Amino acid sequence: MSFQQALSGLNSTAKNLDVIGNNIANASTFGTKVARAEFGDMFAAALGGGGNTAVGIGVNVLAVAQQFTQGSIKATDNPMDVGISGGGFFQVTDGKNPVVFTRNGQFKLDRDGYVVNNSQLRLMGYPADASGVVQPGSSSAIRLPTGGVAPKVSSEATIEANLDARLARTGDLVVPTINFADARTYNSATSMTVYDEKGQQIALTYYFQKANTDVWHVFATANGVDVAGAPGAPVPLTTINFASNGSAPVTPAAPVTINVPTTTNDVGATTVPFAMTLDLMSVTQYGSGFGVTDMNQDGFAAGLLTSIGVEPNGIVMAQYSNGQSRPAGQVELVSFRNPQGLAPIGNNAWSRTFQSGDPLGGVPGDGSLGLLQSGALEESNIDLTGELVNMMVAQRIYQANAQTVKTQDQILQTLVNLR
């Protein structure tokens, strides 16, 4: 009598139960993938040597294959959490051993500014230069800048507005004068904040004075100091001449230059003088109320790093206290021709093998690579209900194989008892 078949069945079913138990244990592990025990029957005879009477000698486990299907994306509201929606793996490294791969996007910042996972492995991607331009090519550990953003002096400003054509004149066409403290000497005013070389704020106020039909003088002050003319004798920064239909100005036909003088700001500091241009070519003169529809300038104050976020294309965006944002790098994902050939090494990571092939790198969204979702994680693709059903089936199979052993034992006992 042979107990081979039943013994192999018991061993293989026990291995299957181990696989199912591991799946159940990792049902709430982010980025993990369900595994499946795959079996094959065994025969003692060589191919063609047993005819039609060969009886198998049991079963063995051919492989424990992981299934790399997409898991659900769960929002976490933590901007450092990143989920992959689609194909691909993150690359993480300790800088010494070979790079490993993971689908678990639970990342944090370490003391040196590197983006790391719970195993202190650093996330890899493309670095960005000091101006925020991503440098694609060879990937390396992503490191956020520790310093802030230097200030930028204002060099260009634009105003898009409408001046009310119905208003009466408040100025003289030939000898323009204005009293900034008397609203009766001008028709409309608006302000914007600009920045000097130190990033200090300067309140730049524009005054619009109607001098004649289709003619407007534009005066300006910086922190209350006239930017044109002598002290106490302001002169127009420019004069706008409109077409008879009130559309875009005939003159000036190009941006005008503003020489912002030295001033004292609201905290008593002395500002640095600088020059900038003002574009008024989007100003109109229609028979409707005064209104500014757009006004912008390109300067900003110094800023400190306040937060980071990851864009769907993998750009790691650093947010600063001055409202500026700048790329700090870009996450690189990799794919494999045979992901089931990857070797699981624990801590939600895999290593490449000969069977998996070499990693194929790219940015999220390219080819078969998925997009990233910041503030979310990919849940396990394990179906807990299905695993519990599989466990019950495996238990019955184990009992059936045990029954085979019992039956074989009873038959052997009967032979022993023959007289």
Write the DSSP symbol of residue 95: S
Q: How far from 97 is each of 100, 117, 282, 359, CA to CA, in Å?
A: 9, 16, 59, 16
Instruction: Parse the chain into domains and list their residue ranges.
Output: 4-69+381-416, 80-142+309-378, 156-297
What pLDDT digit, counting tens, does each position of 292-323 carry? 999 999 999 998 888 888 999 999 998 888 88
- The 10s digit of each residue's pLDDT in 33-89 is 999 998 888 877 655 555 566 777 888 889 898 999 999 999 998 889 999 999 999
Cα distance between residue 206 and residue 286, in whole Å: 19
State residue 144's pLDDT score. 85
Q: In the prediction, which pLDDT does 50 show?
A: 55
b/e map of 178-204 (b: 16 or more CB within 10 Å)? beeeeeebbbbbeebebbbeebbbbeb
Low-confidence ranges of the chain (pLDDT < 70): 1, 45-53, 419
What gap in Å lies between CA 333 and CA 369, rounded to an integer?
Answer: 7
| pLDDT computed for residue 305 by the predictor | 84
**Dist. CA 228–CA 364, nearest whole Å:** 53
Return the CATH number of 156-297, one of 3.30.70.2860, 2.70.70.10, 2.60.98.20, 1.10.10.10. Answer: 2.60.98.20
Question: 357, 363 in Cβ contact below 8 A?
Answer: no
Angle 6-8-12 (CA atoms, 0-180°, nearest 5)?
120
pTM, two decimal places = 0.76
Q: Are 353 and 333 in contact (CB under 8 A)?
A: no
